[in-house]
Amino acid sequence: MDKITTMNISFTKMHGLGNDFMVIDAINQKISLSSERIKQLSDRHFGVGFDQLLLVEKTNLKNIDFKYRIFNADGSEVEQCGNGARCFVKFVVDKGLTDKTEIFVETKNRNMRIKKMAENAYCVNLGLPIFTPKDIPFNQLKNENATYTVDGYQVGVVSMGNPHAVLIVNDINQEIESIAKKIQNSGDFPNGVNVNFVEITDKSNITLRVYERGVGETLACGSGACATVAYLDLIGRVNAKDKDILVSLKGGKLLIGVKEEDGVFMVGDAEFAFEGQIKI
């Protein structure tokens, strides 16, 4: 009979505006998790429960402090998570993994700068928004101001390192799941897509709900807030280059700004929930 090996994993549960994460230090402990195991851990009844799993790893890149890996609740690895980035920097600073208050992290497809600004305020530079279809990736080509028709719905399509579809709605409290699933299953997004529903109050205030790929609706989505503001700024519905935009989500509020050369910035908080160990 083969010997069954087990390992104890220390973890921290965190959240950014209710978007919750299981955060693991994979520098000081050996971690090997299959996608099926991650899915089991994400279960809110039989596991730890989370929207995403965040791994803190070493990097081999020069002038980069850490590698930042993100896994959705369904076990799939994804490119970006803005709320998770704020939790990431709080974790590495408060756990003594760095003595810096500004760090550079490697993600799956881009590098990010994250800075602790105050006691519990963190600024994430997610970089420049991507509107070129092949780089999102997105299968359609014809567009006007990054606006397309997907399964009968007019959407803005943009990537902040991960793909987003933005729908402007008159009532943010409308049913969104069926619409989000239609767009996600349209076949236009080879790597899937997060679907953002936005109600515009005025040039400086918006309300947002996000239905994430591999997760469902979450209480907040940092990259979704950045992608939405970047698109609305492009089409002139907000003035993000002149004034930070206040984004209201179910879990709380974020400030989003757009800089012509540096990209999209997000400011918000991050919170520890609890810590524990789990035997795998």
Residues 161, 258 within the same domain: yes
Residue-level pLDDT at 142? 81
Spell out the residues 6+ positions from residue 192 whose beta carbon is closer than 8 angstroms to its own: 163, 184, 213, 214
Within-domain flag for 3: no
Residues 110, 232 within the same domain: no
Residues 83, 168 within the same domain: no
Residues 48, 84 within the same domain: yes
Q: What residues act catalytically?
A: 81, 221
Residues 177, 204 within the same domain: yes
Within-domain flag for 81: yes
Within-domain flag for 1: no
The domain total for the chain is: 2
Per residue, the 3-state secondary structure of 39-108, as one string, reads HHHHCCCCCCCCCEEEEEECCCCCCCCEEEEEEECCCCEECCCHHHHHHHHHHHHHCCCCCCCEEEEECC
Residues 32, 68 within the same domain: yes
Within-domain flag for 16: yes
pLDDT digits (tens, 9 = 90+) for 159-193: 999 999 999 999 999 999 999 999 999 999 999 99
**Both tokens of residue 182?**
């239609």
Give the domain extent around 223. Answer: 133-267
pLDDT digits (tens, 9 = 90+) for 3-32: 556 788 999 999 999 999 999 999 999 999
Q: Partners of 271 in the beta sheet? A: 15
pTM for this prediction: 0.91
Q: What CATH number is attached to the domain comprising 219? A: 3.10.310.10
pLDDT digits (tens, 9 = 90+) for 73-126: 999 999 999 999 999 999 999 999 999 999 999 999 889 999 999 889 999 999
- What's the whole-number average pLDDT of the chain? 95
Residues 172, 226 within the same domain: yes
Within-domain flag for 38: yes
Taking alpha carbons only, the member of 207, 209, 252, 247 closest to residue 226 is 247
E strand or H helix that includes residue 174? none
Within-domain flag for 2: no
Residues 120, 137 within the same domain: no
